[in-house]
Structure 1
Amino acid sequence: MRRIIQISGWLLFIMGLIIIMLFSGNEYQWMQDMDPSMTALPQGNGNREIIKMLIYFILIIVQIALYF
């Protein structure tokens, strides 16, 4: 049973890292790719940063739980 919990914890950790990689970058980058003359990209509302910090917090909790 302990082994199953460890494996699921590591899978949760890896999925969290993948989600963080997907959320990185600017969500409006595609606009600049379509129109290179556009110099300043619009700023997001900060929801991505909140979600990334929440995922970091969950990943830290998972790692602490796997340690004990």
Structure 2
Amino acid sequence: MSEFKQYRRKNLSEMRPYVKGEKLDGNVSISEADLKAGSPKVGNMIARNPKNHKDQWLVAKAYFDDNFERVE
């Protein structure tokens, strides 16, 4: 197994808030850890690949808050 190393992001991320009650139905990937933590839930964000808008995944609120800030 290889060693983990730190990497900085080179570009911007495209995200939007999860809307309570929104049906994600396989259109948005959610990790097993996030599912166990009760996601999807209000405060989570939905990220998408800017080069493939069908490639979307859930970002937990705590991770988002620690790692992202809005670009105006």
TM-score by length of 2: 0.25
Work out which of the two has the higher radius of gyration on C-alpha atoms and give 1 or 2.
1
Per residue, is there more helix in 1 or in 2? 1
Higher relative contact order by CA 8 Å / sep ≥ 6: 1 or 2? 1
TM-score by length of 1: 0.26
